[in-house]
Amino acid sequence: MDCIINRRAQFSASHRYWLPELSETENFQQFGACARANGHGHNYVLYVSMAGQLDEYGMVLNLSDIKHDIKREVTSQLDFSFLNEVWEEFQKTLPTTENAARVIWNRLKPHLPLVQIQLFEHPDLWADYFGDGWEAHLTTRTHFSAAHRLAIPEASDEENYAIYGKCAHPHGHGHNYHVEVTVKGEIDRRTGMLVDLGQLMQLIDDRVAEPFDHTFLNEDIPYFKNVVPTNENFAIYIRDLLQDPIHELGAELHQVKLIESPGNTCTVTSQKSNV
């Protein structure tokens, strides 16, 4: 029986985005506030996923052994460290979230049957690495508030209530939406970035968060004049808004996850994605 098990760990560390071959002006143009001399810190959360067969004791691996391996190879070395200096890999390639996930994989792979490393820099930014060379996934999350009504324009109120229930109420209802945008690409061997994070976040803000925030989707967004703004249709629309602009940034959109409420989410993948 194949099982995937996960182990959570955490560490606190600081880092700085700075390339000595660039001038101060060029570094600040490239990395913004992350280039400041004293660096900045994060409370990192690490998820290590492993796969294997159950042994006679009903385990894939001994959890105590996993804990000690992760502590010995990763957290004891990184906790309360300055990442740029602690490992030689980070002197060659900057310790971005996506590159740190890759390096942690390489440090743990000789000891554990890894299938995925997921590293959270903070709750709204994380990277996933699957052991595929320099390719990684990077996810950023944002939020906005909007209202909608689920109703087919040409249908009667009775027909819409029969299909959508109370979501067809004529005055609509609102949600605090959260959207997670995952991109994939090759990590740059020097900057450690698979995409310029500042540009990605600005793109999502310009194309999604700001245009939809505090709107009534059916009335304020032309696309939804004739398309019912279900969570599914909304997720697809966000994907289509972002796919080409993200490609222009040098990455590929992997998926969009739209969280309408804690009990209702929708995930759509890029039409170009093979993952």
From residue 158, how far is each of 149, 152, 163, 219 by CA, in Å?
14, 11, 9, 21
- Distance in angstroms (rounded) separating the CA atoms of residues 255 and 239: 7
Tell which phi-psi region holds residue 172, choosing left (phi > 0), alpha (psi between -120 and 50) or beta: left
Q: What pLDDT was estimated at residue 2? A: 86
pLDDT of 273 > 60? The answer is no
| Separation of alpha carbons 132 and 270, rounded Å | 19
Tens of pLDDT, residue by residue over 172-194, are 999 999 999 999 999 999 999 99
140-275: which CATH topology? Answer: Tetrahydropterin Synthase; Chain A (3.30.479)
The reply to whether 137 belongs to the active site is: no
List the structure tokens of 147.
């209202």
166, amino acid identity: K
* 47: β partners: 8, 118
Topology alike, domains 1-133 and 140-275: yes
Binned at pLDDT 50, 70 and 90, residue 1 comes out as low
Annotated domain spans of the chain: 1-133, 140-275
Pick the catalytic residue from 73, 135, 167, 180: 167
Each residue's pLDDT tens digit, 213-247: 999 999 999 999 999 999 999 999 999 999 999 99
Task: Label the pairing between strands 81-82 and 2-15.
Answer: parallel
Q: How far apart are CA 122 and CA 150, in angstroms?
A: 34
Q: Is 167 a catalytic residue?
A: yes
Identify the CATH homologous superfamily for domain 1-133.
Answer: 6-pyruvoyl tetrahydropterin synthase/QueD (3.30.479.10)
Per-residue CA distances from 221 to 178, 216, 218, 228, 239 (Å): 18, 8, 6, 11, 16
Quick check: is 24 catalytic? Answer: no
Q: Which of 98, 121, 252, 260 is catalytic?
A: 260
* Count of H-run helices and E-run strands, the chain: 11, 10
